[in-house]
Amino acid sequence: MEHIDHILVVDDDRDIRELIVSYLEKSGYRASGAANGKEMRSILDKQHVDLVVLDVMMPGDDGLTLCRQLRSDKHKDLPILMLTARNEDNDRILGLEMGADDYVVKPFVARELLARIKAILRRFRALPPNLQVTEAGRIIAFGVWQLDTSARHLIDPQGTIVALSGAEYRLLRVFLDHPQRVLTRDQLLNLTQGRDAELFERSIDLLVSRVRQRLNEDARTPAYIKTVRSKGYVLSVPVTIVEARE
């Protein structure tokens, strides 16, 4: 049976929520609506969801809080599209820093929302060739850290697991596949998202910042991912394969 993508729309405005759900269903998707974080959790616990459309401005736990929670639990790889009524760079930046994959500013044209959803799902499933799943998982060591490519998480020096979002994992894999080589922002966008990416221009900088936080790096003097002025970024430490997993 052909898989039909399931989109979960989380918005406290009933009219907007039902309008988006109806439009997505007419566009060939399966769609569900949730008015708040509690309803969102209930659906995620009971059903498979392929992408969440998450409104920023909601009473109680707002969209940014819910996005951060999703990025720190079992749904860390779930694609998230943020909706915001405020057309300000700071709000967009904050959403991307929390782990959102993209955003749309209200009011929006339904076709734009649909195009963004399609682009996110396409990028999520069509990883670049060097990020395709291999026959055997690997443990990649760099400095005092390790990356488990099967589980897609970091392992710190004490053996503690550090979760990564899908975007964070893809970026780190690109750096580990090209160690000690300067990569421009355009190269990083192409390698992590594909050439059809239509992301906020500072998204790579924000993503690098998030990965640095996972590595407990001081942004002013990073030990691993260094900024090369006017050029891009470089993973400054050597990389070794510690273990291959069947």
CATH number of the domain at 87, please: 3.40.50.2300
- The secondary element (H helix, E strand) that includes residue 188 is helix 185-193
pLDDT of residue 42: 95
Cα angle 76-49-23, degrees, rounded to a multiple of 5: 125
Q: Is the pLDDT of residue 220 over 60?
A: yes
Q: Are residues 64 and 170 in the same domain?
A: no
- The per-residue pLDDT for 131 is 44
How would residue 20 be classed by pLDDT, with cut points 50, 70 and 90? very high
Checking DSSP bridges between strand 137-142 and strand 145-148, what pairing results, if any?
A: antiparallel
The answer to whether the pTM exceeds 0.85 is: no
Query: Tell me, what CATH number does 221's domain have?
Result: 1.10.10.10
- Considering the domain boundaries, does residue 38 fall inside one? yes
Q: What order do you get walking across the sheet with 145-148 strand by strand?
A: 161-163, 153-155, 145-148, 137-142, 239-245
Range from 100-104, 117-121, 208-212 that averages highest in pLDDT: 208-212
What pLDDT does 1 receive? 59
Q: Which domain holds residue 15?
A: 6-125
User: Among all chains, which residue has been given the structure tokens 């710190």?
Assistant: 156
Q: From edge to edge, which strands make up the β-sheet containing 51-55?
A: 30-34, 6-10, 51-55, 80-84, 102-105
Which residues are paired to 31 by β-bridges?
A: 7
The whole-number pLDDT of residue 107 equals 82
- Mean pLDDT score, 106-111: 87
Segment 185-195 mean pLDDT? 71
Q: How far is CA 128 from CA 100, 192, 209, 215, in A?
A: 20, 7, 22, 24
> Same domain, yes or no, for 102 and 142?
no
Distance (Å, rounded) from C-alpha 13 to C-alpha 18?
Answer: 9
Mean pLDDT for all residues in the chain: 83
- Same domain, yes or no: 157 and 240: yes
Q: How many domains does the chain have?
A: 2
Quick one: pLDDT at residue 195?
41
Q: Which of 76-80, 200-204, 211-215 bottoms out in mean pLDDT, i.e. has the lowest?
A: 200-204
